[in-house]
A and B are shown apart, each in its own frame.
Chain A
C-alpha cells in the first residue's frame, strides 16, 4: 500500500504538472514584434531533457533525498521558465529587446556553446588558482598563527582591519604591478578569499576546546599528528565558514576583474556583448555564471557535510 502511494506521487507531482503546463503554453500564439522562431525547438528540447532526467530519477533513484532534490530543483527551473515565457513571448509584458524570450536565449546558448565552454574554463582556472592558493595558505598560516599564543592579539587586530578592506581596491594596484592581466584576476581573488579563510582558521584554532588539547597532551601526541588529528578537525566547521565566505567573494571579484580588464572568461563575455547591447548574450552569460556558482557551492557543501559527518545533528 505504502509503496503504491509512493509510486502514485511519483507520477502525479508538481514537476510533471509543470512540464505539461509548459507544453500547453508552447501552443499559445506568440505576441511579439520580432520573430521568435517558428517552433520553439530549443525550449522544448531543454525542458524535455530536464523532464527525462527527472523521470529517470523517479524510476531508478531509490534514495529519497536524491529524488526530493531533483524534484525541487527541476520544478523551480520549470516555474521560472514558465513565467519567463509568459512574460516575454506570449504576453510581451517586458521590453522585447532587453528581455528576450527563453527560446532566443537558449538558441544563443547553443550557438555560442564552444566559446562559452572556453570562457567558463578560463574563469574556472583563474578561480581555482586564486581560491585554492588562498585556502591552502590561509589554513596553514591561520593555524600557525592560532597556535602561537604570543601573536594572538596583534594578529587579531591586523586581520580584522585588513579583512574589512574591499579587495576590489587592489585591482588598480595589481594592474600596475603585475605583468599579465590574468595574474591580476588571480591575485585579487587570492586576496579576497585569503582573509576570511585565514581569520576563520585563526579563530577556530586559537579557540580549540581545552578538553581536546588536554586529551592530546595526556596521549603524548606529537606536533604533526596534533595538528592533523586534533586541531584541524576541531576547527573544521569554522574553517568551512571562512572557505564559503571566501568562495562568495571570489565569484564577485572574478567577474569584476574580468569585466574591468580581462580578455577571456565569462565576465569578459558579458562585458564584451553589453558594449553592443546584445541582451541575449548578456542573459546567456548571467545564466552560465549562475549555474557554475550553484554547482561549486553544491560541491563544497557536500564536502563540508562529509567531513563534518561526526557532528551531532
Chain B
C-alpha cells in the first residue's frame, strides 16, 4: 500500500501581482517503508514540494494523502529536517533534540527524553557538544543536531531536505549509514518511509529504493527510476561495479539531457 500519495500538486507563488508556478501537476507516490530520493536542479521546487508534504504550505491545486487520508496541516507522523537547519537558538543542542522528542512522544518523562537525546547526539558524533547553544556550533554541526532531532523523534515518515549538504565527507558517510540503519528499524517495527532531497547522485543511488527526477520551470516530475541494487549495499564494492557505473551514467545523461532539452541545445554551464 502507498504511504504517501501526491496527486496533481500545483503550487503558485504570488510575485508582485503576477503568479509564479513553482510546481505543476506533480504526481507520484511513496510506498510504506520505501526510501525515495528526489533530485533536480536548483530552483526546480524540491523544497516547495517538501513544504507541502510537511504541511506548512498548502498547494494551489491537488491533494496529498497519507495512509489514504488527505493531510490537514502538520502532523506528528512526520519528522522533518529543513534545508536551512532550523534549531531554536535559545535551547542547547541537547534541549533542541529533547524538545522534538517531547513533541513526538506525549507523556515521556524528562529523564527519558534527556537519555534519548544524549544517545542520538552521540550517534551523530556530537556527544561532547550537547550543552552548547546553536550559535556555538558550526553550520554542519547544527545540521547534525537537526538530523538527530528528526531521527530521535522516531516518526513513521521522514522528510529530509538536503540533510547532508553542509557536512564533510567522513561524517556524511557515517550519517548515511545511521539513516539507513534507523530506516530499516529493528525488524519488529515497520520500516520508516523516507522522502529525501539531494543534489548528490551517488548519495541518491546508495540510499534509495527509487529516485524521482524533477525538471524545472515549472517544477515537474521528469522521470521515476527504480534503483536496481540489492541491500545491504556495500558502498566500497558497489561503486566499483560496472552496473553501478552504467546506472550512474544513465542517471547523469537523463539529468543533463533534461536541462539541455529545456534550454534548446545551447551551451550549458553548470
Contact = CB atoms under 8 A, between A and B. Distances in A.
A212 interface: yes
Contacts of A310: 89-92, 133-135
Kindly name the residue among B74, B84, B88, B104 whose own CB sees the greatest number of chain A CB atoms within 10 A. B88
A311 B87 CA distance: 13
Interface string B42-80: 000000000000111000000000000000011110101
Interface residues of B, number: 26
Interface string B97-109: 0011001100000
Interface stretch (A18-26, A141-149, A213-221, A257-265): A213-221
B56 A218 contact: yes
Given A220-B75, A230-B88, A215 B82 contact: yes
Contacts of A221: 103
Given A220-B103, A310-B135, A312-B135, A214 B55 contact: no
Contact of B82 (A214, A229, A230, A312): A214
A229 B103 CA distance: 12
Contact of B54 (A212, A218, A309): A218
A229 B76 CA distance: 18
Contacts of B92: 310
B74 A220 contact: yes
Nearest to A233: B90
B226 interface: no
B173 interface: no
B54 A311 contact: no
A76 to B, nearest CB: 33
A36 B55 CA distance: 79
B2 interface: no
A95 interface: no
Interface residues of A, number: 18
B86 interface: yes
A230 B88 CA distance: 8
A50 B55 CA distance: 63
Interface in B90-137: 90-92, 99-100, 103-104, 133-136
A69 interface: no
A211 interface: yes
A175 to B, nearest CB: 44
Interface string A221-243: 10000000110011010000000
A218 B161 CA distance: 14
Interface in A176-218: 211-212, 214-215, 217-218
Contacts of A214: 54, 56, 82, 86
Contacts of A212: 86, 88
Contacts of A220: 74-76, 103
Contacts of A229: 88, 91, 99
Nearest to B134: A310
Contacts of A234: 90
A304 to B, nearest CB: 13
A211 B86 contact: yes
A217 B56 contact: yes
Contact of B55 (A218, A230, A312): A218
Contacts of A218: 54-56, 74, 78, 80
B84 A211 contact: yes
B86 A219 contact: no
A217 B74 contact: yes
Contacts of A236: 90
B111 to A, nearest CB: 19
Nearest to B77: A220
A201 B55 CA distance: 28
Contacts of B100: 219
B138 to A, nearest CB: 12
Contact of A311 (B78, B82, B86, B89): B89
B103 A311 contact: no
A308 to B, nearest CB: 8
A311 B104 CA distance: 27
B114 to A, nearest CB: 16
Contacts of B82: 211, 214-215
Which of A214, A218, A234 has the most chain B CB atoms closer than 10 A to its own CB?
Answer: A218
A212 B136 CA distance: 18
A-B pairs with the 7 shortest C-beta distances?
A312-B135, A233-B90, A310-B133, A218-B80, A219-B103, A215-B86, A310-B90
Given A236-B90, A310-B90, 11 more contacts: A215-B87, A217-B56, A218-B55, A219-B74, A219-B100, A219-B104, A220-B75, A229-B88, A233-B90, A310-B91, A310-B133
14 contacts: A211-B86, A215-B82, A215-B86, A218-B54, A218-B55, A218-B78, A218-B80, A219-B99, A219-B103, A219-B104, A230-B88, A234-B90, A310-B92, A310-B135
